[in-house]
Amino acid sequence: MINDIDLKHLKRCVELAKEALEAGDEPFGSVLVSADGDVLAEDHNHVAGGDHTQHPEFALARWAANHMTPEERAKATVYTSGEHCPMCAAAHGWVGLGRIVYASSSKQLAEWLEEMGVAAPRVRNLPIQEVIRDTAIDGLVPELAQEVRELHRQFHSKRK
Ligand SMILES: [Zn+2]
């Protein structure tokens, strides 16, 4: 179930995705929220420099490993504009973070990129559940997913 607090954090993720797009990065944004509801860290995609592992969910997993106890991590939530890729889902699992809430799914992204004529990435678009177990996962939110789709459309139309 996605409540109003979840929606607020997801909207921030979409804003961060917009910031990424404006910086020439792929439009993805994520927020790490504690059990008490405090925003601990946020990030957006930083792949424009050529390092394609610079995803926000990966950065937040590392931040969590360095700044939070295992108990705090297990109760924290990661919000993200687009469902974790397999690399980020694995990082989330390895550091023991808790719930994941996403605005748009990996399946949607794959469909959008195909529609836009963008070649499929080498790393497969797997659902998080196929990468890590025992994780509470909520998503998607159709109206926010449409905003995310538009950001991807803008990103890929600039590159053509
Ligand atoms: Zn990723």
pLDDT tens digit sequence for 84-102: 999 999 999 999 999 999 9
Distance 75 CA to ligand 1 centre (A): 21
Distance, CA of 149 to CA of 109 (rounded, Å)? 8
Q: Which pLDDT belongs to residue 98?
A: 98
Distance 155 CA to ligand 1 centre (A): 17
**pTM of the predicted protein model:** 0.97
In this structure, what token pair is assigned to residue 158?
């600039």
φ and ψ of 54, to 5 deg: -85, 65
Distance 17 CA to ligand 1 centre (A): 13
DSSP state of 48: T
Distance 93 CA to ligand 1 centre (A): 13
pLDDT in tens, 19-31: 999 999 999 999 9
| Amino acid code (one letter) for 8 | K
In this structure, what token pair is assigned to residue 64?
């969590």
Distance 36 CA to ligand 1 centre (A): 26
Mean confidence (pLDDT) of the chain = 97
Q: Is 103 helix (H, G, I), strand (E, B) or coil?
A: strand
pLDDT in tens, 90-136: 999 999 999 999 999 999 999 999 999 999 899 999 999 999 999 99
Distance 74 CA to ligand 1 centre (A): 20
With a cut of 90, say whether residue 15 has pLDDT above it: yes
Distance 84 CA to ligand 1 centre (A): 5
Q: Which pLDDT belongs to residue 158?
A: 79
